[in-house]
Amino acid sequence: MSADAKPLDTSIGVISDDQLARVQAAYGLKSLLVLPFFSLNKSIIDLRRRTETARKVFIESDQGILFLKELPWYCSSVEFAAFQTELLSRLHDLGAPVAPPLVTHSGYRFFHDRRTGSIFTLQPYVEGQSWTGGDGEARAAGRALAGLHTHARQTRMNGLPGMRDAFSSAKSLVSLLQDSAEQPEPVREEIDDFTRLALAAIERSRTEAYAAGYGAEVLPVHGDFNPFNLIFGETLESTERVVGIVDFDNACLDDRAHDLGESLVRFGWVNYRGLSSAYGAVPTGFDQTAVAAVLAGYREADESAATAARPLLPAVMTAVALELAAIGLLSAYYTQSDLPALRHNVEALPKMAAEAVASVW
């Protein structure tokens, strides 16, 4: 079944009344009204129709419109919640377009519901619109990412996690294919072959990146910088601008090339189904216009940092693209018929990524 045809499951995405009551008490909200629907680019979005990994709702309260989100399973720990929310708070204080997490009566920037184990964050609603595919938005994304990195370098935090590079993340996702649901033997062999080739390619990319200086400077990075984690505001003097960066659930310490390389893949490689985050056809090449726009925006804001990251980008782009290919298979965006094209990309990606960067810079 395609993601477009996914049936509405109203039991998964709904936060129970008793849990909402505990959230309300923790944050001292005098009143709240849950808004399971919201308007996005003039479309009505039902938050109960979920392909994501965490529950989320908008709340109308005495403190204004707020966004309540449950941390997904893969980062749902008190330690990560403390790191993420402190990072968000400090980035906001430094001027980054990041909504600050609200503080509970107990003084925490997150609420740990000990009855269920769930961890929630509550942030002010950021008004704007989603990505519409324009080159101006891609350039604005590059500028916003450079600004985010500038602010991230200035953060002074306690309890920082260890470094987690882009290649480790990619290998972890690709390795999940080895544990995916059982398939007929011929299909299983094709998936195993793709997995083996992809893991080897990621390891080669990792070796090349570190030889070129990867990790020389480590800072807090977003970890999932893509068009759907950005909120765009009204144009200012004919220039697109980002007014909100959201979803720091993959935030970690790493080289800035992690985010920059990922942004080039997310804007310039992946084919999406319309303007949704669901994947479309398997990519056959980079959109050089999109790659050029993101890089131009980043260089406009921080030329020296972009120049330092440049030799690292093809290796990161290769690893991230293979990670997303694995996600496509695991999410059934890609099927058995796509495996030959995916396997071809394993071999072709390093050259295509290098040419995409070289052609515009």
Q: pLDDT (tens digit, 9 = 90+) per residue, 138-182? A: 999 999 999 999 999 999 887 677 899 999 999 999 999 998 767
What is the average per-residue pLDDT within 60-69?
94
| The predicted structure's pLDDT at residue 180 | 72
Please give the pLDDT value at position 55: 85
3-state DSSP of the chain: CCHHHCCCCCCCCCCCHHHHHHHHHHHCCCCEEEECEEEECCEEEECCCCCCCCCEEEEEECCEEEEEEECCHHHCCHHHHHHHHHHHHHHHHHCCCCCCCCCCCCCCCCEECCCCCCEEEEEECCCCECCCCCHHHHHHHHHHHHHHHHHHHHCCCCCCCCECCHHHHHHHHHHHHHHCCCCCHHHHHHHHHHHHHHHHHHHHHHHHHHHCCCCCCCEEECCCCCHHHEEECCCECCECCEEEECCCCCCEEECCHHHHHHHHHHHHCCCECCCCCCECCCCCCCCHHHHHHHHHHHHHHCHHHHHHHHHHHHHHHHHHHHHHHHHHHHCCCCCHHHHHHHHHHHHHHHHHHHHHHHHHC
The CATH number that applies at residue 168 is: 3.90.1200.10
* Domain assignment of residue 130, yes or no: no
Each residue of 323-359: pLDDT tens digit? 999 999 999 999 999 999 999 999 999 999 999 999 9
In this structure, is residue 35 part of a structural domain? Answer: yes
Range of the domain at 289: 135-360
Per-residue pLDDT for 292 more than 90? yes
State how far the Cα of 76 lies from the Cα of 249, in Å rounded to an integer: 9
* One domain, residues 198 and 307: yes
Mean pLDDT, the chain, whole residue set: 91
Same domain (yes/no): 320, 186:
yes
Same domain, 182 and 308: yes
Of 101, 124, 147, the residue that ends a domain is 124
Shared domain for 333 and 267, answered yes or no, is: yes
Same domain, 155 and 47: no
Which of 124, 149, 184 lies at the terminal end of a domain, its last residue? 124
Structure confidence at residue 5 (pLDDT) = 40
Whether 145 and 44 share a structural domain: no
- Read off the CATH number of the domain in which 69 is found: 3.30.200.20
- Alpha carbon distance 106, 90 (integer Å): 19
- 143 and 194 fall within a common domain: yes
The pLDDT assigned to 160 comes to 74
Q: Confirm whether 64 is domain-assigned.
A: yes
CA distances from 256 to 189, 214, 312 (A): 36, 9, 10
Say whether both 100 and 244 belong to one domain.
Answer: no
Same domain for 59 and 194, yes or no, is no
Q: Is the pLDDT of residue 40 over 70?
A: no
Q: 86 in a domain, yes or no?
A: yes
Which of 65, 95, 124 is where one domain is finished?
124
Task: Evaluate whether 66 touches 30 at the Cβ level (below 8 Å).
Answer: no
pLDDT of the residue at 35: 75
Same domain for 189 and 327, yes or no, is yes
Domain membership of residue 129 (yes or no) is: no
Residues 96 and 201 in one domain: no
Number of domains forming the structure of the chain? 2
- Is a pLDDT exceeding 70 seen at residue 51? no
Co-location of 167 and 74 in the same domain: no
